[in-house]
């Protein structure tokens, strides 16, 4: 299995594109190693800027560079990027509309036992609440590459969150359906819809297989675009299946669940069950241990899906 981390995919894409596009600039805040960007810094030092441990400066310096025509990627742990430098993201990136892509690495709870300071279980909420900020959580490295390619084509602000570890791919080398700002329908189904984002998509896909064995037809949607969210696919799911389960590596406040529930409530009310992280510091453990604790695995998702049908 081709297991490379999403952050590695970002580095590869940026390295490739930066060979010819000399306006691409990457910034780090003592985070190049964790971002897998050491190779970029070594190979293209003139397109790399080290800011030191200063995430607020990282974001505003990025905005200044972008205002002078640079295509900027600011890469730092998602936790610090989405909270400490939130005002910089709001004012200097989103409000001033600068061509900055904020890349939050080691997102969600992927820092495990390092605790709540290092978790970003609220970054969808913070970033999506900022006008003019787009928010993306790609599900695997294939999709991450497609997303970065698309982001290199436009000049608008965005926030991309990826996890720390390599995860099993959702897609295959020669089958990577991707349309910018449109969710990907991974599997059609008629009983229940599973909408997931980021590294939860794989588990949702696996849950659909468990359900299929029990004769339940589950639709699986990869909502990598949290903002602008793909409303149509949500409304369609509400109409065509009996209910929706959302799965996210994020608190259920202000993330995927909130948005899906909002869309269905306004357009076509159906049962929407939200699976996510608790409103508390998460239990100490490795990613999989944490996910298992909160039922954020294929079995847990299948269980919740059945609740939709039994309502």
Ligand X SMILES: Cc1ncc(C[n+]2csc(CCOP(=O)(O)OP(=O)(O)O)c2C)c(N)n1
Number of residues that bind ligand X (CB under 6 A): 3
Encoded tokens for 59: 């974001």
Encoded tokens for 128: 């999506």
Of 9, 28, 89, 247, which one interacts with another protein (CB under 8 A)?
Answer: 28
x/- letters, 8..47, toward ligand X (CB under 6 A): ----------------------x-----------------
> Does 224 participate in binding ligand X (rule CB under 6 A)?
no
Q: Which residues contact 273 (CB under 8 A, 6 or more apart)?
A: 243, 244, 245, 246, 304, 307, 308
Of 15, 17, 57, 271, which one interacts with another protein (CB under 8 A)?
Answer: 57
Of 284, 299, 307, 311, which one interacts with another protein (CB under 8 A)?
Answer: 284
Of 44, 91, 114, 176, which one interacts with another protein (CB under 8 A)?
Answer: 114
Q: Measure the CA–CA gap between 221 and 201, rounded to whole angstroms.
A: 8
> Does 285 participate in binding another protein (rule CB under 8 A)?
yes
Of 23, 50, 67, 231, which one interacts with another protein (CB under 8 A)?
Answer: 50
Buried b (16+ CB within 10 A) or exposed e, 48-59: bbebeebbbebb
Closest CA to 205 of 191, 189, 229, 190: 189
x/- letters, 250..289, toward ligand X (CB under 6 A): ----------------------------------------
- φ, ψ of residue 208 in degrees (nearest 5): -60, -35
Helices (H) and strands (E) in the chain, counts: 12, 12
Instruction: Look up residue 201 and give its DSSP letter.
Output: H
Applying the rule CB under 6 A, the residues between 66 and 125 that interact with ligand X are: 80
Q: Measure the CA–CA gap between 113 and 118, rounded to whole angstroms.
A: 9
In this structure, the strands spanning 134-136 and 225-227 are antiparallel
Residue least distant from ligand X (Cβ): 30
Q: Measured from the CB atom, is 126 or 193 closer to ligand X?
A: 126
Task: For residue 165, give the H/E element and its range.
Answer: none
Encoded tokens for 121: 């279980």
Q: Measured from the CB atom, is 58 or 247 closer to another protein?
A: 58
Residue 269: contacted member of another protein, ligand X, none (CB under 5 to 8 Å, by partner type): none
Count of CA atoms in the C-beta half-sphere (13 A) of 170: 33
Q: Measured from the CB atom, is 106 or 193 closer to ligand X?
A: 106
User: Quick count: other Cβ atoms within 10 Å of Cβ 239?
Assistant: 11
Encoded tokens for 72: 């900027």
Q: Measured from the CB atom, is 41 or 147 closer to another protein?
A: 41
> Does 185 participate in binding another protein (rule CB under 8 A)?
no
> Does 36 participate in binding another protein (rule CB under 8 A)?
no
Q: Measure the CA–CA gap between 238 and 220, rounded to whole angstroms.
A: 13
Of 6, 12, 18, 31, which one interacts with another protein (CB under 8 A)?
Answer: 31
CB of residue 114 vs ligand X: minimum separation in angstroms?
A: 8
Applying the rule CB under 6 A, the residues between 45 and 64 that interact with ligand X are: 53
Residue ranges in contact with another protein by CB under 8 A: 28, 30-34, 50-54, 56-57, 79-80, 84, 112-118, 283-286, 289
- The residue ranges that bind ligand X (CB under 6 A) are 30, 53, 80
């Amino acid at each position: 299995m081709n297991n490379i981390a999403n952050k590695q995919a970002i580095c590869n894409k940026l390295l490739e594109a930066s060979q010819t596009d000399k306006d691409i600039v990457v910034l780090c805040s003592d985070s190049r190693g964790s971002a897998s960007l050491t190779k970029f810094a070594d190979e293209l030092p003139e397109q790399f800027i080290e800011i030191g441990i200063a995430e607020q400066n990282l974001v505003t310096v990025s905005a200044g560079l972008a205002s002078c025509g640079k295509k900027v990627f600011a890469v730092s742990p998602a936790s610090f990027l989405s909270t400490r430098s939130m005002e910089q993201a709001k004012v200097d990136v989103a409000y001033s509309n600068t061509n900055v892509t904020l890349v939050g690495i080691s997102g969600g709870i992927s820092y495990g036992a390092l605790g709540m300071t290092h978790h970003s279980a609220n970054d969808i909420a913070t970033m999506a609440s900022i006008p003019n900020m787009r928010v993306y959580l790609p599900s695997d490295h294939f999709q991450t590459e497609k997303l970065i390619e698309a982001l290199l084509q436009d000049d608008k602000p965005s926030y991309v969150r990826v996890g720390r570890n390599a995860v099993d791919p959702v897609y295959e080398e020669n089958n990577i359906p991707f349309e910018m700002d449109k969710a990907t329908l991974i599997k059609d189904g008629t009983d229940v819809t599973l909408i997931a984002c980021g590294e939860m998509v794989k588990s949702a896909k696996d849950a659909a297989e468990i359900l299929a064995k029990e004769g339940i037809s589950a639709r699986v949607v990869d909502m990598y675009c949290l903002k602008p969210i793909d409303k149509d696919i949500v409304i369609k799911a509400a109409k065509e299946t009996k209910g929706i389960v959302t799965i996210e590596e994020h608190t259920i406040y202000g993330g995927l669940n909130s948005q899906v529930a909002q869309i269905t409530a306004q357009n076509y009310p159906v049962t929407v069950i939200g699976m996510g992280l608790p409103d508390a510091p998460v239990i100490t453990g490795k990613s999989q241990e944490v996910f298992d604790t909160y039922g954020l695995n294929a079995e847990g998702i299948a269980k919740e899906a059945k609740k939709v049908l039994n309502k």
